[in-house]
Chain A
Amino acid sequence: MIAILGIKLGDPAAWVFLAFAAVTCASALVVAASRNIIYSAYALLLTFFGVAGLYAFLDADFIAAAQLLVYVGGILVLILFGVMLTHKIREIKLSNETTNPIVGAAIAGFVFLALAYVSLYTNWDVVDRPASPTTGEIGKAFVGKYLLPFEASSVLLLGALIGAAYLARRDKEKA
């Protein structure tokens, strides 16, 4: 049985995992490289979906569902609104310019190589732990150990809500 970094190619689940990984990475490339901004946005949908699948492989069921709910249902819709509200309907084929792609690719490539080096050559303290449902534990952590950050994030959300509504409001004098 061939094993690359612990992946057993005889196991069908490994192929499902590889499919999710491929979808995630390919659609991330489309986000970065597509010339049409709306295609970038929909490629981002696939990326979010693929990342949710990866969370499922990490037995993080709550985070996977939250990823779908918040990223796909919230942030992606906001981004799509951002695209659609800042373009005219007649420019249906939207261009998405890039500046200095070579410099950008060099920096991104360097970052990727550095991160890949760290992840491959570090001796991680891996422990063989059985999967267990995370939702209840996350709930206890929210109201137990992480109560203060939890409350702070609720204040942050309220501030973002009020701030976004204030910023997006049309000025009475100008309009």
Chain B
Amino acid sequence: MHPLLNFAHDVLPFTKNWPDWILYGSLVFIVAFGILNTLVAPLTGISTYIERRLAGRAQYRWGPNRVGFRSMLDALPITRGIAKLGDMQPFKFIGSKIPGGLLQFAADGLKLFTKEDIIPAQADQLLFRGAPYVILAGSFAAFAVLPVSFHFRAVNLNIGIFYILGISSIVVPGILMAGWGSANKWALLGGMRAAAQIISYEIPVAIALMTAVMLAGTMNMADIVETQRSGYGMEKAGMLGWYAFRYGGLMLVPFVIYFIGGCAEVNRTPFDLVEGESELVAGYHTEYSGFRWSFFFMAEYSNMFAVGAIATTMFLGGPLPPYPVQFTESLFGPMGNLGMVLRFGEGFFWFFAKSYFFVLLMIHMRWTLPRYRIDQMMHLCWKVLIPIGLVWFVLMCGVKMVRMEMALPPEKDAVAEVHK
């Protein structure tokens, strides 16, 4: 029984006769709402902030790295002395650590709030207004099953990764909704490009993820994390047990395929031809402005984080730390409840550190790589990634079969985990 379910049973006694599925569904609603406002929105904000700062550096734009508390302090005559103090040798360390660019981020949000909400006269009102919600719902619903820390996730679905693949496919009709509803040929072209790109790249992404699922023997995200604890004959192997580094690095290939496909699925550079400025103005959200536009923006950043989080869970051990866990277990174990909290925080930290590593990587790629042409993009998907992914899937099947025949440790453990 899931602790969240028990909690729900305690607080609301009438839920005791509900089937688990329904209770899960309602909890998805409640928890997703909570997560949306307390977790996902800040996550999106942090990604935006990082992107603004890195873009500022890449473009030699100073503002996004400067507009912040430092300059505020500098501007006021009274506090100039304090700022000077910050620049003095003993305090320089502290002064330079005040994050710059925080006000740029706030100003961006304020600007989006106050912008006029324009709906083109020829647009299809219903589709135009509905599209941002559909896209946002599709990208946020995936967060429900992410194992954010040990034994901590919104719902424990036994089809976790399959659920993510299914629910995030709602984004594609949403994009077509925006493209068609705008009554703009650039928007329509961008929307159709985006849809073609996303459903094409869903195939290599699914194949790469299924390779990891096949090795784990389960689609439950938390169980996939648990199977990555051990490896190379060790019960607690640290980062050697992660699927990306197991089997002598053979799984690095599906991992890279997943990451490339994930970048394409969230329409990031080098695959951002759906919003290629030189060809399509801004793609399917050309006609959107103000807060409606920022919904697309939020969906993109939350999708980036989701891609990073799925890569983390499936290939990099999720909340598992890169060192063997017995170190921290022996350290935090005797501390009782505090130790529990510390271990929870440890998993939380590693999960977000790894996920944000991917977000950072995607931002760096955006500001360093040129854009693909559409035929190159389709070539990469259908003629490179899918064949390699399929061959690697069969290869890993063979590896797993051989190791199961020989009863080598990780597979033995995995088999025991699944059939227990």
Contacts and interface: CB of A to CB of B under 8 A. Distances in A.
In the complex, A touching B, CB below 8 Å?
yes
Interface of A: 11-13, 16-17, 38-39, 42, 45, 49, 52, 56-57, 59, 61-62, 64-69, 72-74, 76-77, 80-81, 84, 89, 92-93, 131, 133, 135
A66 B166 contact: yes
Contact of B170 (A68, A74, A135): A68
Contacts of B151: none
Given A13-B23, A93-B124, 15 more contacts: A12-B18, A12-B26, A17-B22, A45-B173, A56-B21, A62-B159, A64-B166, A65-B162, A65-B166, A72-B172, A76-B173, A80-B180, A84-B192, A89-B183, A135-B219
Interface string B1-25: 0000000000000110111111101
A135 B176 contact: no
B226 interface: no
A81 B192 contact: yes
Given A62-B162, A69-B165, A84-B188, A77 B22 contact: no
B126 interface: yes
Given A73-B199, A81-B195, A131-B21, A89 B176 contact: no
A77 B199 contact: yes
Contacts of B136: none
Nearest to A76: B173
- Report, nearest first, the 9 A-B pairs whose CB atoms are least far apart: A73-B169, A68-B166, A13-B22, A69-B166, A65-B166, A65-B162, A13-B18, A92-B183, A80-B176
A74 B127 CA distance: 20
A57 B176 contact: no
Contacts of B122: 92
26 contacts: A11-B17, A11-B18, A12-B18, A16-B25, A38-B124, A56-B25, A57-B19, A61-B21, A61-B157, A68-B166, A68-B170, A69-B162, A69-B166, A69-B169, A73-B169, A73-B202, A77-B172, A80-B173, A80-B180, A89-B183, A93-B124, A131-B20, A133-B158, A135-B158, A135-B159, A135-B219
A62 B126 CA distance: 32
B69 interface: no
Contacts of B165: 65, 69, 73
B177 interface: yes
Interface in B103-125: 122-124
Contacts, number: 102
B19 A13 contact: yes
A62 B21 CA distance: 13
A16 B183 CA distance: 36
Given A73-B199, A89-B183, A59 B21 contact: yes
B27 interface: no
A88 B111 CA distance: 36
B167 interface: yes
B163 interface: yes
B173 A89 contact: no
Given A16-B25, A69-B165, A59 B18 contact: no
Contacts of B169: 68-69, 72-74
Contacts of A13: 18-19, 22-23
Contacts of A11: 17-18
Contacts of A81: 192, 195
A135 B223 CA distance: 15
B188 A12 contact: no
Contact of B167 (A12, A38, A68): A68
Contacts of B157: 61
Contacts of B373: none
Contacts of A72: 166, 169-170, 172-173
A165 to B, nearest CB: 11
Nearest to A14: B22
B185 interface: yes
Given A57-B22, A73-B172, A92 B124 contact: yes
Contacts of A57: 19, 21-22
Contacts of B162: 62, 65-66, 69, 135
Nearest to B219: A135
B126 A65 contact: no
B14 A77 contact: no
B419 to A, nearest CB: 10
Nearest to A38: B180
Contacts of A65: 159, 162-163, 165-166
